Amino acid sequence: MKLSNPFIPNRADPHISRHDGTYYFTASVPAYDRVVLRASATLPGLAEAPEKTLWRAPPEGPASALVWAPELHRADDGWVVYFAAAPSREIRDGLFQHRMYALRNPSPDPMQGLWEFAGVVDSGIDAFCLDATSFSHRGRRYYLWAQKHPDIPGNSNLYIADMETPTRIRGEPVLLTRPEYDWEIQGFLVNEGPSVLVRHGRVFCTYSASATDERYAVGLVWADADSDLLNAASWHKSPRPVFVTDAESGVYGPGHNSFTVAADGTDLLVYHARNYREIEGDPLWNPDRHACVQPLRWDADGMPVFGRPLREFELPEAGA
């Protein structure tokens, strides 16, 4: 089956997951005022699936504005959505005032049951933070996010921590990567939007860097699957981006990715991008960051091959 990008228009920070044969999609909406979710038995079905609002930001309070980058994760026997939000649109010292929050739902079906606001997920660093994700490895659950540190120049670095519960970290955050290479500091000094994929004896973590225009790009760090993931020395970082703007394809600023799998088990890269270069107005409020999907390949050494952004691709099917 052939699919085209944009896959789902006007949905930034896309997160697609698959559980028990069902695909789930959530993303930032242009109004930044709620958390939404779609479900479908097939990946193509997500494009037309009805969108359910799980939670709306209240009119005031610490999580009342700029709801960004929700992610759905299985937790215990229910579900959790991680997202970031701010008390207002005010910028202080060059940054918004986001903190990380969670929603919980004990239902086996995330499209059913009651979603409740579970409060803040405290990073241990009282500063701008966002883009939380979570993953399990070797019987432990980890939390990974983007965070401003008062002692480090720039907007955000990536941190990792052990999880005590699905909404509480344990121990001190470990600095995983900070903006250091030229391609990570275009416009802003940013490392954000982490996503984890465990394959071929390694734990891979992608992230996005620089301003959210055509300079936005995806980077990669990785660790041996048997290593101590809370030891920064276990991680290796690519000095070059692995996924970038492709003017020939008309894809600009690909980033804030996640991963899912096709029906046949093929790994898929999920990301957002614009299909034109010249942004109209403020990049933050421009709604034209679209959710895109394409296959992820692997080389003979078990390293991911991201390739170029694709405007269309053949979706692998089960049994094909």
Q: pLDDT tens digits for 137-172?
A: 999 999 999 999 999 999 999 999 999 999 999 999
Looking at the domain assignment, is residue 39 inside a domain? Answer: yes
In terms of phi and psi (left: phi > 0; alpha: psi -120 to 50; beta: otherwise), the region of 131 is left
Instruction: Identify the pLDDT of residue 320.
Output: 45
The CA-based dihedral angle spanning residues 190, 183, 9, 206, taken in that order and rounded to the nearest 10 degrees: -70
Q: Helix, strand or coil for residue 118?
A: strand
Other beta carbons less than 10 A from residue 92's beta carbon: 9
Residues 169-198, mean pLDDT to the nearest whole number? 97
User: Across residues 290-314, what is the average pLDDT?
Assistant: 97
150 by Cβ neighbours in 10 Å (0-12 / 13-18 / 19+) ranks as exposed
> CATH no. for residue 96?
2.115.10.20
Q: Average model confidence (pLDDT) for the chain?
A: 96
Which residues, in sequence order, are CB contacts of 34 under 8 Å at separation 6+? 53, 54, 55, 56, 57, 67
- Residue 320 placed within a domain: no
56 located within any domain: yes
Whether residue 319 has pLDDT greater than 60: no
- Does residue 317 register a pLDDT over 80? no
Domain-located, residue 319: no
| Catalytic annotation present for 13 | yes
Catalytic residue among 71, 131, 184, 192: 192
Give dist(CA 106, CA 93) in Å, integer.
39
User: Domain of 90?
Assistant: 2-314
226 classed as catalytic: no
pLDDT in tens, 250-284: 999 999 999 999 999 999 999 999 999 999 888 88
Please count the structural domains in the chain.
1
Q: Is the pLDDT reported for residue 66 higher than 90?
A: yes
57, 97, 255, 305, 307 from 62: Cα distances, Å? 10, 9, 27, 40, 40
pLDDT at 1: 84
pLDDT reported for residue 318: 64
Sole residue written with tokens 């939670």: 55
CA atoms in the 13 A half-sphere facing the CB of 90: 7
Q: Residue 253 domain-assigned?
A: yes
pLDDT tens digits, one per residue of 22-32: 999 999 999 99
Smallest CA-to-CA distance from 112 within 54, 165, 69, 62 is with 54
pLDDT digits (tens, 9 = 90+) for 12-54: 999 999 999 999 999 999 999 999 999 999 999 999 999 999 9
Query: What is the DSSP-derived secondary structure letter of residue 234?
Result: G
